[in-house]
Amino acid sequence: MFEFRLAGHPIRATRKRKMGPAKTRARSAIGDAAPAMPGSLDDALRGLLTPVDPPTSFRDELARELAAVARHKKSPQILLQRPPDYRRGFLIGALLSSAVSLAGVIAVIWRRRAQHPSSPPC
Amino acid sequence: MEEELVEQARADPVAFGQLYDRYVNRIYNYIYHRVGNQHDAEDLTARTFFRALSHIDHYVDRGAPFSAWLYRIAHNLVANWHRDRARRRTIALDEAISLMAAQASPHDQAEARERSEALRKAMRKLGPERQQLLILKFTEGLSNAEIGQIMGRSEGAIKSLYHRTLLALQQEMREDE
């Protein structure tokens, strides 16, 4: 019989046991089939659920893999931001060059008219 | 401090490494006790952090510690893992038990092993939330309030759940009789 105690709430759980060494047999002789569970259920759980650390090799390897993924995750954002900047630059450049060309044509026409103000057609 | 680390990791994924260093042991420990073997614990720990890294942009600080978010990811992955492997054998916790009993006499070791095995079997039959509660309480040493933050429940609800969990453990052990 295993016996656990909650804080302030004794609880019993029975469990069949194989007949063990002398200590167990002696108890069975007085009607208790197995020794009582020492301590409370809390203690038993604390003993069972001991902290377990990951192996250092696993920990280091995972850190490297995460760092590689993090770098990869970071770089595409920069690439995605570039195209709009290029497009805007191209548009502004095209508009400026068109304006300069148009201004040049207008200037040439204006100059010609200024040099030959009223030449009548022959 | 933690909030700053999370903000840094959001802006610069490379900074996520600091959060990893801070929580990897706790998450591994939690998963190990839920799955019971090193191989799957490593696999699920890795998946937890990869998922956290890819979703950190969507992380919303609701007042709970960042670890609560990580534990939820781990909890969901472990639940899926259990679903995928309905019939499975786990023995690795025995290693921990044998380490605990290494300094005792052979007879005491045998007794300790048998008791621990019975308790472990009973614990495995508990629902995922109850297992999570026990692991957080005993391996992490968290208070009811902290566990409540992680599990999205009040401190009183955790206290009540803990009591019911211990009763359920007793019941499971009776049924194993």
Of residues A29 and A114, which shows the higher confidence score?
A: A114
Q: What is the DSSP letter of B139?
A: T
Residue A119 confidence class, pLDDT cut points 50, 70, 90: low
Could you tell me which residue, B64 or B161, shows the higher pLDDT? Answer: B161
- Residue A31 or A41, more confident: A41
The contacts found for A12-18 with CB under 8 angstroms, 24 or more apart, are: A12/B170, A13/B169, A13/B170, A13/B173, A13/B174, A14/B174, A14/B177, A15/B118, A15/B173, A15/B174, A15/B176, A15/B177, A16/B177, A17/B114
Given CB atoms, is A7 within the 8 Å cutoff of chain B? no
Q: Name, in order, each residue with C-beta under 8 angstroms of A10's C-beta and a sequence gap of 6 or more.
A: A3
pLDDT band at A23 (very low <50, low <70, confident <90, very high): very low
In this prediction, residue B48 carries a pLDDT of 96
B148 to chain A nearest CA, in Å?
Answer: 19
> Token pair of B64, please?
């709970």
* End-to-end CA gap in chain A: 131
Pick the closest to residue B74 from B6, B125, B139, B150 (CA basis): B150
With 70 as the cut, is the pLDDT of residue B13 above it?
A: yes
Q: What is the distance in angstroms between the Cα of B86 and the nearest Cα belonging to chain A? A: 23
Q: Which chain B positions have a beta carbon within 8 Å of A58's beta carbon? A: 42, 45
Q: Do B115 and A37 touch (CB under 8 A)?
A: yes
Output the pLDDT for position A1.
42
Per-residue model confidence (pLDDT) at position B29: 93
Question: Comparing C-alpha atoms, which of B84, B82, B73, B80 is closest to residue B50?
Answer: B73
**Closest by Cβ to B33, choosing from A23, A49, A59:** A49
Whether residue B73 has pLDDT greater than 50 = yes
ipTM: 0.76
Strand-pairing partners, residue A2, are A13
The minimum CA-CA distance between B31 and chain A, rounded to whole Å, is 10
Asked if the model's pLDDT at residue A77 lies above 60, the reply is no
Does B11 or B20 have the greater pLDDT score? B20
Residue A11 phi, psi (nearest 5): -130, 140
Minimum CA–CA partner of B21 in chain A:
A63
User: Can you read off the two tokens belonging to residue A61?
Assistant: 């390897």
Instruction: Encode pLDDT of B74-86 as tens digits.
Output: 999 999 998 887 6
Q: What is the pLDDT of residue A56?
A: 94
What is the pLDDT at residue A14?
A: 35
Is B33 within 8 Å of A52 when comparing Cβ atoms?
yes
* Inter-residue long-range contacts of B75-79, CB under 8 Å, 24+ positions, other chains counted: B75/B128, B75/B132, B77/B31, B77/B44, B77/B47, B77/B48, B77/B51, B78/B31, B78/B34, B78/B35, B78/B44, B78/B128, B79/B128
Average pLDDT, chain B: 84
Mean pLDDT of chain A: 67
Instruction: Quote the pTM value.
Output: 0.63
pLDDT for residue B147: 92
Cross-strand pairs, A4:
A11
More confident residue, A18 or B66: B66
Average pLDDT over residues A3-26: 37
Per-residue tokens: B102? 């290494």
Q: Give the model's pLDDT for residue B78.
A: 93
Percent of chain B with pLDDT over 70: 86
Mean pLDDT of B35-49: 94
Q: How many Cα atoms are found within 13 Å in the side-chain-facing hemisphere of B37?
A: 9
Binning pLDDT at 50, 70 and 90, where does residue A12 land?
A: very low
pLDDT on residue A59? 94
CB pairs under 8 A between A and B: 126
Of B14, B33, B38, the CB nearest to A74: B14
Query: Is the Cβ pair A52, B176 closer than 8 Å?
Result: no
CA distance B94 to B99: 8
Q: What is the pLDDT of residue A22?
A: 33
Supply the pLDDT for residue B5. Answer: 85
The residue that leads in pLDDT, B106 or B166, is B166
Q: Is the pLDDT of residue A39 over 60?
A: no
A54–B46: do the CB atoms touch at under 8 Å?
Answer: no
Q: Which of A96-100, B55-59, B62-66 has the least mean pLDDT?
A: B62-66
